[in-house]
Amino acid sequence: ATSLASAASAKGRYFGTAVAAGHLGESAYASTLDAEFNAVTPENEMKWDATEPSRNSFSFGSADQIVSHAQGKGMKVRGHTLVWHSQLPSWVGGLNATDLRSAMNNHITQVMQHYKGKIYAWDVVNEAYQDGSSGARRSSPFQDKLGNGFIEEAFRTARSVDPNAKLCYNDYNTDGVNAKSNAVYNMVKDFKSRGVPIDCVGFQSHFNSASPVPSDYQANLQRFADLGVDVHITELDIEGSGSAQATNYGNVVKACLAVSRCTGITVWGVTDKYSWRSGGTPLLFDSNYAKKPAYDAVLSALGGS
Ligand code: G3I
């Protein structure tokens, strides 16, 4: 196999990237995307501020561009994200609990309906837990006004709208075993025991020197898989360069391949040129779309060459 997509596919996995609609017209961007990846996640275009900027007024133009590009190339689409405290238009924060509940369920319903049948997996709820040792929920309009039950409610609504989409909980700093991942683990365990619909957990995997690839990464993925959910590496990027970065990338891929329910990996961007880490070089292609040592390490870990 000579591309990330074909090598991952030979291992029964997808290999995806975050995509920004605004770059699809750049030929090097599109040709790299099409040659190397078989899954996409809209980087910003499906977020609440983009899809429902004012109440019950939906706009899907730029997300549709990404979905139709992906469909034309036979790529999977990960929907990102339905319920998140960030990139949330201010009108949502102004609602009382009753209105917020109906707005949340309406948002999930309208967005999932629009893409019904076209989405492999949805990040239904994103980043609902705090960092640090408390294992507590993060303050957000949803948490503060609807209480702990908002996540369950979001997943139940999502299942009712598109029963064929996999429903994921997605978070960062949950990649190793720690207080935050323990809290998510306990939530997933509780959901599975009570029949709350959840199919997958996304591990964002944004790594840098302050937050390196954890030594218990594989063990952490495995303990979630053992609860009966798929695990997805959803937003992988690793700061650094050269052989150190390449080694880290290779280790992430090996960890996923060692966990049979780790069904795919998504990197958070095609090229360093457009990484959200401005000035950083955390991705597999440099700003001229040349393959980096990290690319070679990923391809080789996937069994390609
Ligand atoms: O759309 C406006 C544009 O109109 C304006 O001219 C421009 C000027 O700043 O800003 C544009 O919005 C930016 C948007 O990206 C689109 O480019 C926002 O300022 C900027 O904050 C936003 O950043 C995104 C970030 O999420 C926001 O939370 C990054 O692109 C995106 O990579 C990042 O992705 C998140 C995941 O969704 C969740 N996990 C963490 C990950 C990294 O932060």
User: In sequence order, what DSSP letters do the residues of 231-298 get, joined into one string?
Assistant: EEEEEEEE---HHHHHHHHHHHHHHHHTSTTEEEEEES-SBGGG-SSTT---SSB-TTSPBPHHHHHH
**DSSP alpha helices (H): ranges in the chain?**
4-10, 27-36, 48-51, 61-72, 90-93, 97-114, 141-146, 150-161, 179-194, 217-225, 242-257, 293-301
Nearest-angstrom CA–CA distance, 174 and 241: 24
For 76-122, write each residue's pLDDT tens digit.
999 999 999 999 999 999 999 999 999 999 999 999 999 999 999 99
Q: How confident is the model at residue 69 (pLDDT cuts 50, 70, 90)?
A: very high
**H or E segment and range at residue 170:** strand 166-171
Distance 271 CA to ligand 1 centre (A): 16
Instruction: Answer left, alpha or beta for residue 103, where phi above 0 means left and psi between -120 and 50 means alpha.
Output: alpha
Paired sense of beta strands 121-126 and 200-203, if any: unpaired
Q: Which residues line ligand 1 (CB under 6 A)?
A: 43-44, 86-87, 172, 204, 235, 276
Nearest-angstrom CA–CA distance, 198 and 187: 10
The predicted model scores a pTM of 0.98
Distance 176 CA to ligand 1 centre (A): 26
Asked if the ipTM is above 0.90, the reply is yes
- Is pLDDT of 278 > 90? no
Backbone angles phi, psi at 153, to 5 degrees: -60, -40
Nearest to 284 by CA among 112, 273, 234: 273
Q: Which of 17, 23, 43, 171 to mutate to test the pocket of ligand 1 (most atoms within 8 A of CB)?
A: 43
User: Which amino acid residue places its CA nearest to atom 30 of ligand 1?
Assistant: 276
For residues 154-182, give the mean pLDDT.
Answer: 98
Q: How confident is the model at residue 228 (pLDDT cuts 50, 70, 90)?
A: very high
What is the 8-class DSSP label of residue 143? Answer: H
- Angle, nearest 10°, between helix axes 217-225 and 242-257? 20
The distance from CA 17 to its chain's CA centroid, rounded to whole angstroms, is 9
- Is pLDDT of 21 > 90? yes
Q: How confident is the model at residue 154 (pLDDT cuts 50, 70, 90)?
A: very high
Paired sense of beta strands 230-238 and 262-267, if any: parallel
Q: Please classify residue 177 by burial: count the beta carbons closer than 10 Å to its beta carbon, then call 0-12 exposed, 13-18 middle and 19+ buried.
A: middle
Handedness of CA 174, 180, 186, 187 (dihedral sign): negative
For residues 183-197, give the mean pLDDT.
Answer: 98
For residues 169-196, give the mean pLDDT.
Answer: 98
Percent of the chain residues topping a pLDDT of 90:
99
User: Which amino acid residue places its CA nearest to atom 19 of ligand 1?
Assistant: 87
User: Which amino acid residue places its CA nearest to atom 15 of ligand 1?
Assistant: 44
* pLDDT given for residue 279 in this prediction: 87
User: Which amino acid residue places its CA nearest to atom 16 of ligand 1?
Assistant: 44
Atom of ligand 1 nearest to the CA of 18: 32
- Active-site residues, by number, are 235
Residues 6+ apart with CB under 8 A from 268: 17, 18, 43, 204, 206, 235, 236, 237, 275, 276, 282, 283
Residue 19 three-state SS: strand
Handedness of CA 50, 55, 196, 184 (dihedral sign): positive
- Is pLDDT of 1 > 80? no
Atom of ligand 1 nearest to the CA of 81: 37
For residues 144-156, give the mean pLDDT.
Answer: 98
For residues 225-242, give the mean pLDDT.
Answer: 98
